[in-house]
Structure 1
């Protein structure tokens, strides 16, 4: 007999929370009748300043089949949380999940940019990516490198050797689900290898908290700037001297403002 579900949830707290969040978001999307075009990531929407979609696209699923497939694979990959003795574990999982979400989304946009500008494939301007697949494929790749003897269980029926799982799943989903984003999945694999081979490394609690803070700030500012959501307490103005944005938080009680310019937060342009 297998372990009781509650025991497995206790062993995979981060994975269980992410599955819960993605499931709640799917339920909300279905209840409100929200389409993938409202939460997904595309090249054109990124140019329009909808940078918040890098986050929403990762955690949103439109169809129940898409959600079940991704969450089933993610549940199997949750074994990473139990491998602290080989340098993985819960902290590693949380730290690099954030990197996989952000970097895979940025890489998708970068590939779209090359295809559009270099090869004149304007079709990719409107291609919208949605789903947690990029992160799932990234973790498949990391686990296949760190623990090549592991197995990937799908739906409790299919078992794949983890060493081949990233590319097997890439081909399988491309054939079975024609709408699946080949570029999105491939981006997750590339970022996964970069992490597993140490090209991207050095994440700790300090950098994770700092990165989370910047993610929240950019998320809110892009929502405001793109006109998607009106934060009445927040105003974005241009700074004449440097042409960089300035942020003001409005106090509803006395009308006083707290102003923060790009120079105040130590922003460096490279």
Structure 2
């Protein structure tokens, strides 16, 4: 039996957006051909796509990475600005709250029972000149290294360098034995160390390694490090041990990122897991050195 032709008076259903059924939409996605309302429309290379198709397509696009495997950002040094903001806030708290600095500074004896001081001391400063120099150096290094490394790797190097600076201060500034501590008095165990200098020197060390890996000159940085090294031995109340520890830790962390996990072939991505395993191993090494020092002192 033949089909009856559709009545000319029949009304076609009004197309509606699948995500918003209460909205009429006569624009269709060029990918799935479903109706899409203005809120769900996304401009594409050809026509309009719905938000669901755009999200599905994004899953198949490889994320752009920096040369060292970090996620490419919009260029703003968000981590650097955050670190500077924290340091400034802590410095203001030191001025406003009596005794606040003593809660976060590092000394060998306090670090044994309150290990968080290995890190928190890097956010406190002794004077306006102290914080001004460190924050200026952090800004210069951060605006260059953060986009190159990616935010996660940059903050990892910074915090590891701060930790390494405190560890080397413990290893080199604290007494080598209980007898030595008795001979020189308890002051050596209690001498505090504050400031982001160890972390900043870690960025200096990372800069040297990364510049060498990229085949770029770092002559100016050698001069800066040399001048600061001399100042550390000439002027009093400067923890050169933390500077040394931060620089070595930062250089080691940057070397792990720059040289490990690099697959052969121009189209093969960096194996980022190797980086984090290496950085984790460096953290464990610093912890072991600290525990060994406390166990033998």
User: Fold-level match, TM-score > 0.5?
Assistant: yes
Deviation for aligned residue 1:36: 4.3
Residue in 2 that maps onto 1:45: 110
**3-state SS, counterpart of residue 157 of structure 2:** helix
The answer to whether the aligner puts 1:181 opposite 2:239 as a matched pair is: yes
Relative to 1, partners in 2 of residues 1:25 and 1:109: Cα closer, same or farther, differing over 3 Å?
same
Residue in 2 that maps onto 1:139: 203
Deviation for aligned residue 1:118: 8.4
The answer to whether the aligner puts 1:169 opposite 2:169 as a matched pair is: no
The structure where strand makes up a greater share of residues is 1
Q: 2:84 aligns with which of 19, 23, 31?
A: 19
In the superposition, the TM-score normalised over structure 1's length comes to: 0.59
The answer to whether the aligner puts 1:60 opposite 2:124 as a matched pair is: yes
Residue in 1 that maps onto 2:256: 198
Deviation for aligned residue 1:55: 2.2
Task: Give yes or no for contact 2:198–2:243 (8 Å, CA) kept in 1.
Answer: yes
Task: Give yes or no for contact 1:22–1:60 (8 Å, CA) kept in 2.
Answer: yes
1:95-106 → structure 2 map (5 Å cutoff): 95-106=156-167
Between Structure 1 and Structure 2, whose CA radius of gyration is higher? 2
The answer to whether the aligner puts 1:89 opposite 2:150 as a matched pair is: yes
Structure 2 Cα separation of the partners of residues 184 and 178 of structure 1? 14
Deviation for aligned residue 1:129: 0.7
Structure 1 Cα separation of the partners of residues 75 and 90 of structure 2? 22
Structure 2: which 5+ residue stretches go unaligned? 1-73, 261-273, 284-297
Task: Give yes or no for contact 2:122–2:194 (8 Å, CA) kept in 1.
Answer: yes
Relative to 1, partners in 2 of residues 1:182 and 1:32: Cα closer, same or farther, differing over 3 Å?
same
**3-state SS, counterpart of residue 256 of structure 2:** coil
Task: Give yes or no for contact 2:94–2:101 (8 Å, CA) kept in 1.
Answer: no
